[in-house]
Every structure is written in C-alpha cells, then in structure tokens.
Amino acid sequence: MALDGIILAQLVKELKEPLPLRINKIYQISNTELLFHCRGKEKVILLISAHSQYNRISYTKRTYPTPESPSPFVMLLRKHLENGMMVSIEQGGLDRWLDITIMIRNEIGDKVERHLYVELMGKYANVILVDEHGKILDALKRIPPFQNNQRTIQPGALFKKPKAQEGKQNPFDNCTLDLNASLTSQLHGFSPLLSKEVMHRLSKNEPFEDIMKQIENSKEFYLCEDKGEIQYHVIPLTHCSDTFEHYPFMEGMDVLYYHKEEKDRIRQITGDLFKLVRAQLKHHKTKLPKLEDSYREALDCQKWQEYGDYLHAYAWMVKKGETSIELERFDGESTIKIPLDPKLDGRQNAKKCFQKYTKGKKGQIYLEEQIDLCKKEIEYFEALDQQLEIADFKDAAEIRDELVQQGYLKETVKKIRKKKKDNTPSINVIQFDEQTQILFGKNNLQNDYLTFKLAKKDYIWMHAKDYHGAHVVIKNSNPTEEMIRLGAHIAAYYSKGRLSSSVPVDWCPVKNLKKVPGMKPGFVSITTYKTIYIDPEFKEIEAYL
C-alpha cells in the first residue's frame, strides 16, 4: 500500500527532530529518487522518492549508488539549495504533501527562502522547487498546460498548492461519524486500509478516541502479510492478520521499500540489462527450432543426389517450363517423381540437384555447430536472467561488464561513481566461525573469480545440481555437517531452484573442478563429487549474514 495522510503526519514528527540541517550534497539516484546529504548535530541522509508506487520520504542509513553525471534537475537543486539550511518541514493539513523550507544566501549575499514541495500522491507524486515569490524554478516531473490546465507544473509558472478535500473532518479533533459510510469519505488522511481497520476495531467496541490516541502516540510501523502482499500502518492491522513485525519509522521505510525499488534502480542505472538478456533469450529460443528443422532437412540430402543422377541420365527428356517429371527407375521396377525448376533445362536441373546435395552434406556439420552454439547461448542467458533476479546493484554492474567483455554490449562512458578503480569482482562472505568463512558468487564473473583464482585446491566447492546459480566455497578442507548444510542452503537459495524442495547440491574439493575451454565464465566440469539434498531456507542463511 502507499502512504496515507495519517502515516505521513507521524513521519513528519520524526523528520522535524534533527532540524535545522545544512544541505551538503544532492544526488539523483534514479529517475524518481533524490538523496540529500545533510548535517545537523550529526550526519543524516534524506531520501525523497516520487515513484508512482513507492513514493515516500524518510531518513535512511542504507547506501545507494550515485551517478557521476548529475541530471539537469539535480544541477538546479545544487545551485539553489546546497549549503542552505533546511529549517522546517510542514504537512499540508493531513494531505499527502509537504513544504520543506530552505534558507540560503543568493549571489549577492542576501538571505532568500526556497521551498521544496514534496507531493506523495501515487502516480501524481512529484518534487517541485519554488522561489521566494512563489514561482516554480523546476520540477522532477513537469506537467505542461495541455496535460493539466488547472495546475501547470513547469518553470516560470506560479505554484498552486494541492486543493484540500472539502467536507472532511480532522480525525484528531472531536468528530461525528456515520458508521454506515466509509471513513475515507468522512475523515482527512484516512486511506481505505486504515478505514477498514478502524471499522473493524469499532465493531469490537473499541472507542474511536482510543484508536486515534494509539495512532498519535505510535512511533513504529506494524507489518503483516495479507493475501500475499505486505501491508503496514502505524497501528497493527488486526483485520488483516494476528501476527506482525514492527520497526521504528525510518528503519521500517528501508525494510519496506529498499529492495522493492532496487530492481527499478538496477534497470535505470545499468541500462536495462533485463531487457537485453531477455531479448537475447527470446531470439535464441526462436532460432533453435528453425536450425533443427534445417538440420533435419539437411539429413535428407541424399535424395537430391539421386534426383541429379536421374536428371543427368534423362536430360534429353526434360523440357523448360515443366515443374516436375516422372522417370523410370534404373532397375525398371518403379518410377521416381522429381521436382523441377521450370526456368531450367534437364542438365541445369541436374546441376542444381547436385548443388543441393553438396550444400546439405556440408551444412550438416555447420548446423550441428550452430545448434550446439544456440543451446549454449540459451543456457548462458538463462543463467544471467536468474542472476539478475537476485542481483543487487554491484552484482548487476558486474553482469553489465561481463556482457561488454563478451561483446553483447558496447563499452560506454561509465555513469556509475566508483570509489576504487579495481575490477576485481566482489565476493559475498559469511563468517561461519572464527576459523571458517563461506564465500559465494552471485554472477558469472564472481563465480569464475571465486572458483579458479581465490579458492585453494583443498577448499570445498558447492553448486546446485542442474540449476544455474551461485558457486559456494567453504574455506575448510574438513567441513562439519553444519558447514556443509549452510553451504548447501546458500547454493540452493541463490539458484534457479530457490523455490523448489529437495534441491540437489553437488560438493567436492576445488581440485576436482576443471574449467571448460571455450565456455562462457562460470561454467565448470566436475570429475568426482558428492550430493546433498536441501530445502532452501533464507532464514538459515540470514542468521549468519
């Protein structure tokens, strides 16, 4: 669900606590997300998202990739807001928009006021910069007059605050309720979800004033699952579930939205790898049956040699314009019907048949190679598709580098800020105990580096059998059963079989592995190995992360 006005009112209380804040740096981390690095008594990072589904505002402790080249809107924000003081954050009643006031000195040193309006209204979510005279300097999403003549959002236009809905009551004041009508239509800030919850509690004879006091005093989000979706609010949603997880507001925002938006961020910053990989996969899956049909036809090439022999022998009987001819076989026991090209005479048709025979004979070898190559390409892109499903930003960036190395993408000017000029793939590490680490890769470059460069020969290597997935290395030559089971959980969970049960996981010393010549990164062959069957559970891995 999206934010409603009641949730935003509770969030604003915590957003105000560290004010005033000096704005040090501003970044745009995706098409809809802005990061404000600020400093007050301590450093804080303010995240504003104008995503159509995940729009929100919160302080975050998560790390985000930042592009080296800022967008024009960010350049404008930096010009007008950097080094300014964020002095107030006010909500428009109980509506889903905020007015952030920033004080800054202009070019001649005079103090001026800037307003950053953050509108968190679903698909209409936006971030708008307004000067001291109420004129719009720019917006994250511009809305020209032909789209909305009532409220134009573009540079130079006068800013109009969103209109408050009339006829609604403030739920924190004394109000009169009609229990036969939806609370959403009667109370400011109420979403349909909160309306259902309050009606449910009222049916249990819980006083409305007590419910609103719980909301007003709440400092945590309560999360529950309802019909396969995560729902949340500042009070437990008892009409949805009896079990809840709860987090402080700002931490809860990260838990709710960080991974949901991560896939969008990966698509935007890494150039939509999903689209490329799936397009290649579709291309090769369409190509394979055509190659197999051509191969079957090539296997039947012997008939063209036979046709050529008969046409060469009976060339004098073939006349131009005929599309076929029926000739007596050499043994005299039957006839043979031969298709003809009406534009050619007998000898020319015979020559064409011999050419088809030669082409088919040679083509069998070529088509066998192409079919094998096509199958390998399908397997390779299926592996990449699965890796992207579980990739974080660094993993996706490495997959992009791999596609550049393999020639599927052209090298471009890198848009991602990197702290180190180190092309070594990042390896995921779990500290099992003081002596033992379990390492794993989540893409082909990581798998290749881990298995053939980082791992020693006596370390234990693991991989989900018959599935594309992670290479896992246990840095121990004599692992305990607990180590092997944890490694198997990792190998199975970070594979295409993560949603299956009894996933077979092969394991052996690294010395039993061999890199297959000519194969793409991440492919290995095994000589001797053992197999363990595991039901992949992330909880088993999470305990060690």
Three-state DSSP class for residue 246: strand
Per-residue model confidence as pLDDT tens digits over 426-446: 888 998 888 899 999 989 999
53 pLDDT tier (thresholds 50, 70, 90): confident
Which pLDDT does position 229 carry in this prediction? Answer: 82
Q: What's the whole-number mean pLDDT along residues 359-375?
A: 89
SS3 assignment, position 230: strand
For the stretch 237-281, pLDDT in tens is: 998 888 888 999 999 888 888 767 777 777 766 667 888 899 999
| Mean pLDDT (the chain, rounded) | 88
**Residue 286 pLDDT > 70, yes or no?**
yes
Q: Is the pLDDT of residue 1 over 70?
A: no
Residue 202 per-residue DSSP state: H
CA 240, 246, 250, 251 torsion-angle sign: negative
Extended strands (E) in 242-305: 245-248
Residue 511, amino acid: K
Please, are residues 28 and 73 in contact by the beta-carbon 8 Å criterion?
yes
pLDDT of residue 18: 94
Write out pLDDT tens, residues 483-533: 999 999 999 999 888 888 899 999 999 999 988 787 788 888 888 899 999
Q: What angle do CA 253, 257, 259 make, to 5 degrees?
A: 130
- What's the chain's length in residues? 545
Kindly tell me if the per-residue pLDDT of 156 is higher than 70: yes
Same CATH fold assignment for domains 5-139 and 275-388:
no
| Cβ atoms < 10 Å from Cβ of 221 | 24
Architecture of domain 5-139: Roll (2.30)
Q: Which long-range contacts (CB under 8 A, 24 or more apart) does 496-502 make?
A: 496/382, 496/386, 496/464, 496/467, 496/468, 496/469, 497/464, 497/467, 497/469, 497/536, 498/390, 498/536, 500/536, 501/535, 502/533, 502/534, 502/535
Distance CA 531, CA 545 (A): 25
Tell me how far apart the 2 most distant CA atoms of the chain are, in Å.
Answer: 111
3 state DSSP class of 30: coil
Q: Is 49 helix (H, G, I), strand (E, B) or coil?
A: strand
Quick one: tokens of 506? 């092969």
How, if at all, do strands 33-39 and 472-474 pair?
unpaired
275-388, what's its fold?
Answer: Helix Hairpins (1.10.287)
Average pLDDT over residues 214-238: 89
Q: Is the pLDDT of residue 85 over 80?
A: yes
pLDDT of residue 459: 94
- Give the C-alpha separation, 127 to 142, whole Å: 10
Decide if pLDDT at 413 tops 80. Answer: no
Q: Residue 357: its pLDDT value, please? A: 87
Coil/strand/helix, residue 38: strand
Amino acid making up residue 2:
A
Cα–Cα distance, 496 to 272 (Å, whole number): 21
Give the model's pLDDT for residue 288.
94
Query: Contact, 388 vs 271, CB < 8 A?
Result: no
Q: What is the pTM of this model?
A: 0.68
Is 146 or 94 the better-scoring residue by pLDDT?
Answer: 94
pLDDT in tens, 462-473: 999 988 889 999
Q: What angle do CA 163, 164, 167 make, to 5 degrees?
A: 135
State how far the Cα of 216 lies from the Cα of 350, in Å rounded to an integer: 93
pLDDT score of 420 more than 60: no
Q: Which residues of 78-91 are buried (b: 16+ CB within 10 A; e: fewer)?
A: eebbbebbbeebeb
- pLDDT of 415 strictly over 60: no
Q: What residue ranges do the domains of the chain occupy? A: 5-139, 275-388, 428-542
The reply to whether omega before 509 is within 30° of 0 (cis) is no
> Residue 328 — very low, low, confident or very high, per pLDDT cuts 50/70/90?
confident
pLDDT in tens, 376-392: 899 899 888 888 887 87
Local confidence band at 311 (pLDDT 50, 70, 90 cut-offs): confident
Q: What is the DSSP letter of 452?
A: I
**CB neighbours of 198 closer than 8 A, spacing ≥ 6?**
183, 190, 208, 211
User: What is residue 421's three-state secondary structure?
Assistant: coil
Q: Is 379 buried (19+), middle (13-18) or exposed (0-12) by CB count in 10 A?
A: middle
User: Can you tell me which residue has the tokens 């005079």?
Assistant: 110
What Cα–Cα distance (Å) separates residue 165 from each residue in 152, 162, 189? 19, 9, 10
